[in-house]
C-alpha cells in the first residue's frame, strides 16, 4: 500500500484479507491445546492466540480478531485493544525476517544507532522513517523480505549492541559486520 | 551466549550461575539430575510447608526482581488452608534496561527455576503456576516448556508429585513486547488476557488479590532459584554468605564502558563499586576515566564518580557519627546503596566513562520511559513524554534557559502521584542526572 494512503488511515491498513478462510485443522488443534493451559479463565488465552495467529499468518486481520474473540467468548474490542497496546502484535504484514535492533542505553553507547542505520541500508530501507506502532508493521522492504525496527532493551546489555533477527539474538554487532549478516539471511 | 567468564573472580561465589556456560552442561533434565538436581524438592516434600517458609525467612532471601521484598514474608501472606485456590506467577519479563541475568537461567538452566517453583508451590499450597516470559526470548519459552514436560514425565511436578499427594501444573505464558508487564499487577492483568494496566493499590500485595482475584505470589526468576539452594545448603549457612539483612548471593549484570561487561555472582555485600569495576570487570577502556555509575537498572539514581557521601556509621567509641564514604568505596548491597540515595534495584550496573554526554544519556532513557508508559496516569503519560521531548530538543541545539528547572518540575510532579512505581522509575533518572551533572544541563540549556 502506498504511504499517503496509509497516513490517511492513521497507520492502519484497509483490511482486504480473510485469513480465517486459510485456517487448517492443525491450527485449530493447537488453539485448543493453548486454551487448555488456562483452566480458570479462557480469556487468559488471548495473548497466546494472538501470538499463534501472528506466527501462522504473519499478522492479525479483522477476521482473526473476530475469530479469536468468538473462540474466547469475548467481543472483538477485547482483542483489538490488545493489538493496539502490545507492540509485538501487528495488523498488517511485516517482512519475512524482522530485524529488531536494541535502542536502549547500553546498546546505544556501543553504537546501535549506527548498526540500525547499516541494517536499513543493507536491506534497502530509508533509515529515517519512524515506526509508530498501534498495530502497524515496521518499515518493510518492497519485496517483503525484511523489516527493520528499533526495540527497547533486549536484556542482553553485556554484549551490546544486540539485535533480535527473527527468533535469534545476534550480539556484539559491529556496523562493519552488518552487510555480511544480511547477506547470510538472503 | 556466554557473558559469564570461564574462571570466576576470587570474590565471586557462583550458586545460581554454577552451571551457566559450563562446558558440557545442557538444559535437559538428565544433565540437571546428574548435577544434583531435584534433591531439594525431594527434601521439601518431607518437610512441613511452614518449615519451608521459615527456612526462606531465616535465609534472609530478598526478591531479586527490583523491589527487594523479603521472600519468606511474602509467602507467609498466603494462608495455607483458606480454602481458596492460590497461584504463583514467575516474573520472567526481564525488561529493566541493564538487567540480563534471568535470560541465562531460562535458556541454560530451566530446571533450577522449576525446582524452586515447585518448592514454593508446595510451601504455599499452590496447584497452578505460570512462568511469564517476555516474547523477545522465543527460544527460552520453548526450552522452559520442554523442561516442564520433562519434569512432569519424571513425576517432579504434575499429579501427586514425588508421591506426596500434592498436584502442581505449570505453564509458560509469553508477553508481547511491553516493558510495563514487569510490574507485578500489570503482569497479572496481562496474564488475564487484558491490557497490561497496573492495578490500583491497595491491596498492595497480590497475596491478597492477585491472579483471578485470588491469593497470588509473584516472584522473580532468580528469587525462586535461590529457594532450591536454601534447602540444599541450609538456611543458616545461606544467610551467613550475605549481610544481616540480605542473605545468600546476588547476581549482577554489568554493561557499558568496562573492559569485561557480563554477569557475575557474589555473596551479598561482598564487593565495592571499585572492586566491581576495576578488579572484576577489568577497569575502563584504555585512556578513559570513570564518569558515572547507574547501580541498579536504568531507573536507579545515577552516582557521579568522585562524589563523597555523608553516611551514619559507628565511631570508635560505638556512638553514631557522620562518616565520609567515597563513591568508589560504596558496597554494592541494598542498604548501603539506599543510604547513599540510590538503590540495588535489579542489580543492572551501567558504567559510563568520561566520553559520555549526560544529556544524551538521559535522553536515551527518557525516550525509553516515554515509549513504555502504559498511559493510565496523566502525570506519567504526559510527563514522561514531555521530559523526552525536552531532552531531545536540548540535544538538537534548541535548549532554553529554563529547561533544567522545567525538567526538574516535571519529574517532581510525577514521582509519588501515580498508580505504579513506573512513575518513580521514570522520574529518578531525570532528577538524579540534573542533580549530579547540573553543569551539562545548564550548558545544553544555553545552546
Ligand atoms: C515498572 C516496573 C517494572 C518491573 N520490571 C520487572 C521485571 O522485568 N522483572 C522482575 O522480576 N520484576 C520487575 N519489577 C518488580 C515486580 O513488580 C515485582 O516486585 C517482582 O517481580 C517481585 O518478585 P521478587 O520479590 O522475587 O523480586 C518491576 C517493577 C516495576 C514497578
Ligand atoms: S505510573 Fe505510568 S506505567 Fe504506572 S500505571 Fe501510571 S501511567 Fe501506567
Ligand atoms: S540496552 Fe540493549 S540489550 Fe539492554
Ligand 2 proximity of B230 Cβ (cutoff 6 Å): no
| pLDDT surpasses 80 at A2 | no
Nearest chain B residue to A38, by CA: B171
Q: Show residues of chain A in contact with B169, CB under 8 Å.
A: 39
Rounded to whole angstroms, the Cα distance separating A104 from B372 reads: 12
| Cβ contact, residue pair A45, B96, below 8 Å | no
Block residue for cell numbers 516493558: B179
Least confident of B1-15, B154-168, B337-351: B1-15
Q: What share of chain A is helix, strand, coil (3-state, %, to 5)?
A: 50, 10, 40
Residue A67 C-alpha from the chain's centroid: 20
Backbone φ and ψ of B367, nearest 5°: -65, -40
Which residues of chain A have a Cβ shorter than 8 Å from any chain B Cβ?
Answer: 37-41, 43-48, 50-51, 72, 78, 81-82, 85-89, 100, 103-106, 108-109, 151-160, 164, 167-169, 171
Beta strand segments in B277-436, E: 290-294, 303-304, 308-314, 320-326, 348-353
User: Mean pLDDT of all residues in chain A?
Assistant: 92
- The Cα of B75 is separated from the nearest Cα of chain A by a number of Å equal to 22
SS (H, E, C) B218-254: EEEHHHHHHHHHHHHHCHHHHHHHCECCECCEEEEEE
State which ligand 1 atom lies nearest to the alpha carbon of B221: 11
Q: What is the pLDDT of residue A131?
A: 79
Average pLDDT value for residue range B195-220:
96
| Cβ contact, residue pair B1, A169, below 8 Å | yes
N-term to C-term CA, chain A = 24
Residues B415/B431, Cβ–Cβ less than 8 Å: yes
Counting ligands in written order, the one closest to the CA of B370 is 2
Length of chain A equals 186
| pLDDT surpasses 80 at A11 | no
Least confident of A132-141, B134-143, B229-238, B297-306: A132-141
Indicate the burial class of B141 (C-beta count within 10 angstroms; 0-12, 13-18, 19 or more): buried
| pLDDT surpasses 50 at A7 | no
| Cβ contact, residue pair B255, A157, below 8 Å | yes
Q: Show residues of chain B in contact with A87, CB under 8 Å.
A: 176-178
| pLDDT surpasses 80 at A12 | no
Suggest the residue from B65, B92, B97 to mutate for an interface test with chain A (most A CBs closer than 10 A): B97
| Cβ contact, residue pair B95, A106, below 8 Å | no
List the Cα angle B173/B176/B180 in 5-degree steps. Answer: 100
| pLDDT surpasses 70 at A13 | no
Ligand 3 proximity of A163 Cβ (cutoff 6 Å): no
Rounded to whole angstroms, the Cα distance separating A13 from A75 reads: 21
Q: What is the pLDDT of residue B10?
A: 95
Nearest chain B residue to A36, by CA: B171
CATH number of A97-185: 3.40.30.10
Between residues B312 and B273, the one the model is more confident about? B273
Q: Show residues of chain B in contact with A85, CB under 8 Å.
A: 178, 195-196
Band of residue B3 on the pLDDT scale cut at 50, 70, 90: confident
| Cβ contact, residue pair B178, A39, below 8 Å | no
pLDDT tens by residue, A69-106? 999 999 999 999 999 999 999 999 999 999 999 999 99
Mutate to test the pocket of ligand 2, among B195, B381, B385, B386 (most ligand atoms within 8 A of CB): B381
| pLDDT surpasses 60 at B201 | yes
Counting ligands in written order, the one closest to the CA of B182 is 1
Band of residue B350 on the pLDDT scale cut at 50, 70, 90: very high
The CATH number of domain A3-85 is 3.90.1580: no
Buried b (16+ CB within 10 A) or exposed e, B306-335: eeebeeeeeeeeeeeeeeebebbebbbbbe
| Cβ contact, residue pair B95, A167, below 8 Å | no
| Cβ contact, residue pair B135, A155, below 8 Å | no
Q: What is the pLDDT of residue B2?
A: 59
Predicted-assembly ipTM surpassing the 0.90 threshold: yes
User: Mean pLDDT of all residues in chain B?
Assistant: 96
CA torsion sign for B40, B42, B47, B52 is positive
Cell of A72: 474466547
- Ligand 2 centroid, distance to B377 Cα (angstroms): 5
Cell of A179: 552487510
Residue ranges matching CATH 3.40.30.10 in chain A: 97-185
Residue ranges matching CATH 1.10.10 in chain A: 3-85
List the Cα angle B334/A153/B305 in 5-degree steps. Answer: 45
Beta strand segments in B126-190, E: 128-133, 169-174
| pLDDT surpasses 60 at B378 | yes
CA torsion sign for B323, B328, B331, B332 is positive
Average pLDDT value for residue range B122-137:
98
Residues B186/B176, Cβ–Cβ less than 8 Å: no
pLDDT tens by residue, B24-34? 999 999 999 99
Rounded to whole angstroms, the Cα distance separating A44 from A167 reads: 24
| pLDDT surpasses 50 at A4 | no
Nearest beta carbon to residue B371 from set A88, A152, A160: A152
pLDDT tens by residue, B408-443? 999 999 999 999 999 999 999 999 999 999 999 999
> Which value, to the nearest 10 degrees, does the dihedral of the CA atoms of residues A174, A179, A185, A186 take?
170
State which ligand 2 atom lies nearest to the alpha carbon of B420: 4
What element of type H or E holds A33? helix A25-36
Mutate to test the pocket of ligand 1, among B57, B63, B65 (most ligand atoms within 8 A of CB): B65
The residues, any chain, with a CB within 8 Å of residue B41's CB and separated by 6 or more, are B115, B118, B119, B122, B156, B161, B162, B228
Residues B278/B252, Cβ–Cβ less than 8 Å: no
Ligand 1 proximity of B222 Cβ (cutoff 6 Å): no
pLDDT tens by residue, B292-348? 999 999 999 999 999 999 998 888 888 888 999 999 999 999 999 999 999 999 999
pLDDT tens by residue, B75-106? 999 999 999 999 999 999 999 999 999 999 99
Give the count of Cβ contacts less than 8 A between chain A and B: 148
Helix axes A46-57, A62-71, angle to 10 degrees: 140
Peptide bond preceding B139: is omega within 30 degrees of 0, i.e. cis?
A: no
| pLDDT surpasses 90 at B59 | yes
- The Cα of B416 is separated from the nearest Cα of chain A by a number of Å equal to 25
Block residue for cell numbers 534548541: B398
Distances in Å between the Cα of B302 and the Cα atoms of A38, B294, B424 are 42, 5, 14
Cell of B128: 497452578
Q: Phi/psi zone of residue B356: left (φ > 0), alpha (ψ -120 to 50 degrees), beta?
A: beta
Nearest to A34 by CA among A23, A43, A21: A43
Residues B125/B81, Cβ–Cβ less than 8 Å: yes
Distances in Å between the Cα of B200 and the Cα atoms of A175, B127, B370 are 45, 27, 21
Average pLDDT value for residue range B267-287:
97
Amino acid at each position: 500500500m502506498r504511504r499517503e494512503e496509509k497516513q490517511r488511515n492513521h497507520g492502519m491498513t484497509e483490511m482486504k484479507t480473510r485469513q480465517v478462510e486459510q485456517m487448517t485443522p492443525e491450527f485449530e488443534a493447537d488453539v485448543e491445546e493453548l486454551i487448555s493451559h488456562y483452566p480458570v479463565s479462557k480469556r487468559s488465552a488471548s495473548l497466546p492466540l494472538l501470538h499463534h495467529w501472528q506466527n501462522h499468518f504473519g499478522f492479525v486481520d479483522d477476521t482473526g480478531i473476530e475469530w479469536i474473540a468468538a473462540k474466547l467468548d469475548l467481543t472483538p474490542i477485547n482483542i483489538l485493544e490488545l493489538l493496539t497496546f502490545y507492540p509485538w502484535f501487528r495488523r498488517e504484514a511485516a517482512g519475512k525476517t524482522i530485524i529488531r535492533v536494541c535502542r536502549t542505553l547500553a546498546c546505544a553507547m556501543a553504537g546501535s544507532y549506527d548498526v540500525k542505520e547499516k541494517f536499513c541500508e543493507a536491506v534497502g530501507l530509508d533509515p529515517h522513517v519512524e515506526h509508530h506502532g498501534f498495530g502497524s508493521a515496521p518499515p518493510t522492504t518492497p519485496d517483503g523480505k525484511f523489516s527493520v525496527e528499533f526495540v527497547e532493551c533486549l536484556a542482553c546489555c553485556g554484549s551490546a549492541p544486540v539485535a533480535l533477527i527473527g527468533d535469534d539474538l545476534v550480539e556484539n554487532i559491529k556496523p562493519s559486520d552488518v552487510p555480511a549478516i544480511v547477506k547470510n539471511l538472503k | 551466549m556466554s557473558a559469564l567468564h570461564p574462571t570466576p573472580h576470587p570474590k565471586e561465589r557462583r550458586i545460581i550461575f554454577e552451571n551457566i556456560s559450563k562446558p558440557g552442561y545442557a538444559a535437559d533434565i538428565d544433565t540437571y539430575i546428574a548435577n544434583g538436581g531435584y534433591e531439594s524438592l525431594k527434601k521439601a516434600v518431607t518437610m512441613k510447608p511452614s518449615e519451608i517458609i521459615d527456612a526462606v525467612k531465616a535465609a534472609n532471601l530478598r526478591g531479586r526482581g527490583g523491589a527487594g521484598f523479603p521472600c519468606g514474608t511474602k509467602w507467609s501472606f498466603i494462608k495455607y488452608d483458606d480454602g481458596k485456590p492460590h497461584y504463583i506467577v514467575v516474573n520472567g519479563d526481564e525488561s529493566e534496561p541493564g538487567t540480563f541475568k534471568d535470560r541465562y537461567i531460562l535458556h541454560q538452566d530451566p530446571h533450577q527455576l522449576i525446582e524452586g517453583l515447585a518448592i514454593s508451590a508446595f510451601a504455599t499450597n499452590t496447584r497452578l503456576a505460570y512462568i511469564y516470559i517476555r516474547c523477545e526470548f522465543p527460544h527460552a519459552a520453548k526450552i522452559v516448556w520442554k523442561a516442564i514436560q520433562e519434569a512432569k514425565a519424571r513425576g517432579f511436578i504434575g499429579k501427586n508429585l514425588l508421591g506426596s499427594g500434592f498436584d502442581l501444573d505449570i505453564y509458560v505464558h509469553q508477553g508481547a513486547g511491553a516493558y510495563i508487564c514487569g510490574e507485578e499487577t500489570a503482569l497479572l492483568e496481562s496474564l488475564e488476557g487484558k491490557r497490561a494496566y497496573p492495578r490500583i493499590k491497595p491491596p498492595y500485595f497480590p497475596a491478597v488479590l492477585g491472579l483471578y482475584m485470588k491469593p497470588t505470589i509473584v516472584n522473580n526468576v532468580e528469587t525462586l532459584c535461590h529457594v532450591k539452594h536454601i534447602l540444599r545448603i541450609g538456611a543458616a549457612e545461606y544467610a551467613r554468605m550475605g549481610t544481616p539483612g540480605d542473605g545468600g548471593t546476588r547476581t549482577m549484570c554489568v554493561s557499558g564502558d568496562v573492559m569485561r561487561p557480563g554477569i557475575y555472582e557474589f555473596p551479598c555485600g561482598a564487593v565495592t563499586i571499585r572492586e566491581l569495576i576495576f578488579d572484576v570487570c577489568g577497569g575502563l577502556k584504555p585512556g578513559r576515566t570513570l564518569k558515572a555509575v547507574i547501580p541498579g537498572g536504568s531507573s536507579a539514581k545515577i552516582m557521579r564518580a568522585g562524589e563523597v557521601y555523608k553516611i551514619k556509621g559507628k565511631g570508635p567509641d560505638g556512638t553514631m557519627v557522620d562518616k565520609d564514604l567515597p563513591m568508589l568505596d560504596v558496597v554494592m548491597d541494598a542498604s548501603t546503596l539506599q543510604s547513599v540515595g540510590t538503590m540495588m534495584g535489579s542489580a543492572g550496573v551501567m558504567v559510563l566513562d568520561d566520553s559520555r554526554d549526560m544529556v544524551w544519556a538521559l535522553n536515551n532513557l527518557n525516550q525509553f520511559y516515554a515509549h513504555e508508559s502504559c498511559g493510565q496516569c496523566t502525570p506519567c503519560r504526559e510527563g514522561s513524554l514531555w521530559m523526552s521531548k525536552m531532552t531531545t530538543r536540548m540535544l538538537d541545539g534548541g535548549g532554553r534557559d529554563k529547561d533544567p528547572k522545567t525538567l526538574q518540575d516535571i519529574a517532581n510532579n510525577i514521582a509519588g502521584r501515580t498508580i505504579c512505581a513506573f512513575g518513580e522509575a521514570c522520574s529518578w533518572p531525570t532528577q538524579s542526572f540534573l542533580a549530579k551533572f547540573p553543569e551539562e544541563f545548564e550548558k545544553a540549556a544555553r545552546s
